[in-house]
């Protein structure tokens, strides 16, 4: 079972979500609208995301979807 870690820093308005452990060598790509995707530098595999200027109830969170599972099989 995957563990998801969520960190919220209200004073910085920053929400960080990791579905894999953070890496020393990770790269970040801005997807637009203040959404940052974090990936493993070696494999390019997504490991987390950050939402900038986040406040509880932020509508952008409705547009973020993370599916974990094997190809063709989605775990909920």
Q: Walk along the chain (76 residues) and give the pLDDT tens digit of each residue.
A: 568 898 989 999 999 999 999 999 999 999 988 999 999 999 999 999 999 998 888 887 676 555 555 545 444 4
| Residue span of the structural domain in which 34 resides | 5-56
* Residue 19 lies inside a defined structural domain of this protein: yes
* Residue 67 lies inside a defined structural domain of this protein: no
Q: What pLDDT score was predicted for residue 74?
A: 46
| Domains: count for the chain | 1
Hey, which residues does 48 pair with through a beta bridge?
18, 38
Residues making up the chain, counted from first to last: 76
Distance CA 48, CA 39 (A): 7
Q: What pLDDT score was predicted for residue 2?
A: 66
């Amino acid at each position: 079972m995957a563990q998801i870690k969520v960190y919220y820093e209200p004073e910085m308005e920053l929400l960080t979500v990791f579905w894999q452990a953070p890496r020393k060598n990770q790269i970040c790509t801005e997807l637009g609208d203040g959404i940052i995707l974090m990936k493993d530098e070696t494999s390019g595999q997504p490991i987390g995301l950050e939402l900038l200027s986040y406040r509880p109830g932020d509508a952008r969170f409705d547009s973020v979807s993370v599916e974990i599972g094997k190809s063709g099989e989605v775990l909920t």
